[in-house]
Amino acid sequence: MTASVTNEVPLRVAVIVGSVREGRQGRAVADWFLRTAAGDDGLDLDVIDLAEVELPLVLPGWGGTPSPEAAAALKDVSPRLAAADAFVVVTPEYNHSFPASLKNFIDWHHAQWQAKPVGFVSYGGLGGGLRAVEQLRLVFAELHAMTVRDSVSLHGPWSGLGEDGTPRDAAVTEGAGKGMLGQLAWWGRALRAARTERPYAG
């Protein structure tokens, strides 16, 4: 497949909802983001909600095989990560970092992240989840993924995030979302073309 043909194929973006906490706003934030991205015909969005993925905390030893419960959960999500050209992670900030559920999901996978871009939509507190994003950048760098510079941060509930999980300042946040998506799409298509020409050997 040539680079020109590759760029005509919609970019497959897995949107990962990282929080599993009761009463979470993560799904509402993700739904807002999906509405923001819906007008872009060049994107094929696939939502992976970790509240619906029952992965155990116990990982198999090196060279071991997952438990039957883990294998059943991975059978659904792992191929979707492998097929994705890019990722958007929707995360809150818990205790100056990101949720354990998100780290667990990331750690169950490896090659699926490699040589692909990751964008972030974060929310919570005065910092808008930015400290969670900064730590996630370190994690994804170790996994050979490329995080895009711009992110979307919803500072709430005081200023940016309403009680229903949607942004109070729609114009600003929608602009930030489209800006992040623009960077993600550029890197997604560039890296997809590069992987097509020469498989990543990391």
Q: Domains of the chain (ranges plus CATH)?
A: 3-58+67-197 (3.40.50.360)
**pTM for the model:** 0.93
In 108-169, where does DSSP find H-type helix? 130-142
The span from the CA of 202 to the CA of 197, in Å, is: 15
- Note the pLDDT tens digit of each residue in 60-109: 988 889 999 999 999 999 999 999 999 999 999 999 999 999 999 999 99
The span from the CA of 55 to the CA of 62, in Å, is: 18
5 or 175: whose pLDDT is higher?
175
| Alpha carbon separation from 20 to 25, 134, 145, 171 (Å, rounded) | 10, 20, 24, 28
Query: Does 156 have pLDDT greater than 80?
Result: no
Rounded to the nearest 10 degrees, the angle between the axes of helix 26-37 and helix 170-197 is 70
Residue 148 has phi, psi (to 5 degrees) of: -80, 155
What pLDDT band is residue 124 in, cutting at 50, 70 and 90? confident
Segment 15-34 shows an average pLDDT of 93
